[in-house]
Amino acid sequence: MDKTEIKVMKKILSANDKIAGELRKDLADMGINFINLMSSPGSGKTTIMERTARELGNNICVIEGDIQTTLDAERVAKAGIQTYQINTGAFGGDCHLESAWIRSAIDEMDLTGIKTLFVENIGNLVCPAEFDVGAHTNAVVLSVTEGEDKPLKYPLAFQTSSLCIISKIDLLPYLDIKIEEIKENIKMVNPKMKVIELSAKTGEGFENWINFLK
Ligand SMILES: Nc1nc2c(ncn2[C@@H]2O[C@H](COP(=O)(O)OP(=O)(O)O)[C@@H](O)[C@H]2O)c(=O)[nH]1
Ligand SMILES: [Mg+2]
């Protein structure tokens, strides 16, 4: 019984990985950089997307992943860029996005002139890290309100990412959190991680993210 379950899971993941690999190559051939943002709910992904859209304009587009609602897509669309919402509620409420769904989404989008495609993955620090969506860069967002220990508790999201955005740094004066300890914990699970500290609210440090994208 156990063996059958493992076999099925492997099959799903290998099918996902195959499509992810093709997607990564196809987008690179089209000159499009694909960045997958992962984090727990509320760490500031959509706010980062809104500010990025206002700063970089319409050569970027966003696929929003949520179990329910088009709220995030509506927010980012208001910032003036093409958005597409994937809701997993209709097909079982999955807590992650898969590469085949990204493929279907981009087939319906107009990628003319697009330089960067973002995916805002479903808010959750566990499942999205298990599924390769075909991105060239996985980025994990960790807000300063979440605690120093999260990289240690949810290592996979940090190990499958090459960039960590430490967000909401404008809140540091009001918190007891030690940002150096967050960074030490990030380095402990992923010594190669690039770290950018920013506030999408005040714009502090945001230029480092924009420079990274350019
Ligand atoms: N103080 C502060 N609040 C922020 C910042 N970024 C996002 N927020 C707030 O945090 C909440 C969740 O942000 P949202 O972008 O929806 O997070 P998401 O669930 O990761 O997409 C909202 O109330 C935002 O206004 C920030 O840099 N500083
Ligand atoms: Mg969001």
- Please calculate the CA angle 66-137-131 and round it to the nearest 5 degrees: 50
Distance 147 CA to ligand 2 centre (A): 19
From the CB of 36, is ligand 1 less than 6 Å away?
no
What pLDDT does residue 79 have?
A: 96
What pLDDT does residue 12 have?
A: 75
52-94 pLDDT, tens digit each: 999 999 899 999 999 999 999 999 999 999 999 999 998 889 9
Poorest-pLDDT segment among 2-6, 107-111, 131-135: 2-6
What pLDDT does residue 74 have?
A: 96
Per CATH, the number for 2-213 is: 3.40.50.300
111-135 pLDDT, tens digit each: 999 999 999 999 999 999 999 999 9
SS (H, E, C) 85-144: EEECHHHCCCCCCCHHHHHHHHHHCCCCCCCEEEEECCCCCCHHHHCCCCCCEEEEEEEC
Both tokens assigned to 116: 């960067």
Asked whether residue 2 carries a pLDDT value surpassing 70, the answer given is no
170-211 pLDDT, tens digit each: 999 999 999 999 999 999 999 999 999 999 999 999 999 999
Asked whether residue 1 carries a pLDDT value surpassing 80, the answer given is no
Q: Name the closest-CA residue to atom 11, ligand 1.
A: 42
Cα 153 to the center of its chain, rounded Å:
18
From 39, 47, 196, give the residue whose CB has the most ligand 1 atoms within 8 Å, as the site to mutate: 47
What pLDDT does residue 58 have?
A: 86
Poorest-pLDDT segment among 13-17, 114-118, 163-167, 199-203: 13-17
Task: Output the CA–CA distances (angstroms, integers) from residue 85 to 1, 22, 101, in the order listed.
Answer: 37, 22, 11
Q: Name the closest-CA residue to atom 28, ligand 1.
A: 168
